[in-house]
Amino acid sequence: MAQTHGVLNNEEFCCPICLDLLKDPVAIPCGHSYCMGCIRGYWASDGDLETVSCPQCRQSFTPRPILKRNTLPAEMVEELKKMHLQAASPATAATTTSTATAAALCLGTSEDVPCDLCTRSKRRAVKSCLMCLASYCKLHLQAHYECPALKKHKLVEAAAQLQDKICPHHDKLLEIYCRSDQKCVCILCVMEEHKGHDTVSAAAETTRKQRELGMVRRKFKLTIHAREKELLDLRQAVDTLKESAQSATETSGRIFMELMSSIERRHTEVRELIEAQERAAAALLARLEEDLAELRKQDAQLEFLLHTDDHIHFLQCSQSLSAPSGVTDPASIHTDPLLDFGKMNSAVYALRKRLEDVLKVEWPKITRAASTVKIVQSPEPKIRPEFLYYSSPFKLDPRTAHKDLSLSQDNEVVTVRSREHSCPDNLERFDYWCQVLAGEGLSGRCYWEVEWSGMGVNMAVAYGDMSRKGEGGDSHFGHNDRSWSLFCSRKGFSFWHNNVVTKIPGPCSFKIGVYLDHRAGTLSFYSVSDTMSLLHRVKATFTQALYPGYEFACYGASVKLCQME
């Protein structure tokens, strides 16, 4: 029917409350028409107040108007009903369309806001009015688009808690924001308890805060992007770690199996040696038993000949039995009364002790090397026990030591000696500067401590391919781009790199700790006593393993590598 009659399309004869054709239509003073039952029910919901208002334009009336049946709209409605009966077939399709439209307007989920004007079946509200403090469905909202007085009202998306937008003290709209108290207030609040405060409109504050939140969100985006990159890097690192771990497991397993096979093979060889001695002893015992049996046989024959009366037989046999034959000389066998395998057991015990000593020395290196394989690096150590976790013992290389330097037998102490000593030259030895390097390069995180004495000592790290020959700076610690050096003297400290010196204030210290984070490119020197004090830290990009080294400025100076637990 709505599609057939233009009158119905304009909804001029539909009740704005029930949305059906008017029943006993009445007109209130503002001109809007309603079903008599609908408007009475609407006003009854407000209580017995004398002041009532129009559901559409919100105009108030005091006292409550007397409702009278409006005959003209009633007649028009009756005429429309007749026209509806005459056009039953077309109306069927219209009814279906109307039903579908009504279904679309009905409440769908618990999150939908119901229309405040619908009385029979609540429809879904599409907008809420901040002035009326009511929510309207699509049909009841038309008045806010058509009535000049209602067009000035502020419409927002349908919201359920409209009362939260009203000041509880003044029943006015919360449209001001007090920055001093950080709360929303109404216009009367600004004139009373918030007078003199820093206030702005809610819209302006929303714009400002949205701009701030936009900046925060951009930071979140950057953080998310960084985290995503970290996650990608971590996944790649985990995959690499898994591959490396599998390879290390297979390699270490193969090596330990080879060690166990070697030990088992040696065990078999020792067992065979023991069994060979047992077989030799058993063979000797058997031979002696055979000799004894042969001697007893010959003795019986001699006894027979001694008592025989047959002279011819005696003479024929006595010649062959004059001496024992085919037996071992008793004087050639000497039995050891303390015969055992004590010496062999001692040798085996000594082998076990040597293996245990080797494991005792090498095992910490294995565990330390395994512990340095970390996907997420630990923070830089702060106290000495944390530094000691990265302790990296090493030995000095005698092949690199200048001829005036003397190394201890364990290659952990170096001292300057007289020039009378001479030693053969080689490609690794420093021939001009009184310097020495360690025998192995360091990478990853490493820490070591050194005690020094004398007038002055250089404590350095250098690349292994640093020049060793000549008096130029390319072979002098700290005077080239391939070495970093801390000069320690009784007057203080100074740091050298690439022939650039940096003076370091502070008292003299005779025990220096060196911390290297090769991957992070950090080299730090500490004064070590009861506490650790940072002397100097340098940032660099290390492209090779670094070898600890030492240079001596005078005779009598020495350096000792500290043993750390």
Query: What secondary structure, in 3-state letters, does 143-156 show?
Result: HHHHCHHHHCCCEE
Cis status, amide bond into 398, omega within 30 of 0: no
CA 105 → CA 76, 108, 109, 467, 489, distances in Å? 27, 8, 12, 88, 91
Question: What per-residue confidence (pLDDT) applies to 97?
Answer: 46
Please write the tens of the pLDDT for every residue from 167-189.
888 878 788 999 999 999 998 99
Among 127, 136, 157, 163, smallest CA distance to 174 is for: 163
Cβ of 147: how many Cβ atoms within 10 Å? 18
What six digits make up the tokens of 51?
């002041």
Residue ranges with strand state E in 371-521: 405-407, 413-416, 435-437, 445-453, 456-463, 483-489, 492-497, 500-504, 511-517
Question: What per-residue confidence (pLDDT) applies to 418?
Answer: 65
Percent of the chain with pLDDT strictly greater than 70:
85
Highest-confidence segment of 218-227, 291-300, 478-487? 478-487
0.85 exceeded by the pTM?
A: no
Among 221, 116, 220, 206, smallest CA distance to 158 is for: 116
Q: Find all residues with CB under 8 Å of 383, minimum gap 6, and list them.
A: 532
Model confidence at 422, pLDDT cuts 50, 70, 90, reads low
What's the rounded Cα separation, in Å, for the pair 384 and 389?
9
Question: What per-residue confidence (pLDDT) applies to 317?
Answer: 78
Question: What per-residue confidence (pLDDT) applies to 392?
Answer: 86
What's the rounded Cα separation, in Å, for the pair 136 and 289?
126
What six digits make up the tokens of 411?
């290659």
Question: What per-residue confidence (pLDDT) applies to 92?
Answer: 47
Q: Of the ranges 53-67, 218-232, 493-507, which one carries the lowest mean pLDDT score?
A: 53-67
Question: What per-residue confidence (pLDDT) applies to 322?
Answer: 60
Please write the tens of the pLDDT for every residue from 333-354.
666 665 677 788 888 888 888 8
Note whether 556 and 414 are within 8 A (CB).
Answer: no
Specify whether the backbone of 259 is left (phi greater than 0), alpha (psi in -120 to 50) or beta. Answer: alpha
Among 520, 527, 473, smallest CA distance to 504 is for: 527
In the predicted structure, residue 105 carries a pLDDT above the cut 60: no
Among 442, 406, 405, 448, smallest CA distance to 562 is for: 448
Note whether 408 and 553 are within 8 A (CB).
Answer: no
In the predicted structure, residue 281 carries a pLDDT above the cut 90: no
In the predicted structure, residue 204 carries a pLDDT above the cut 70: yes
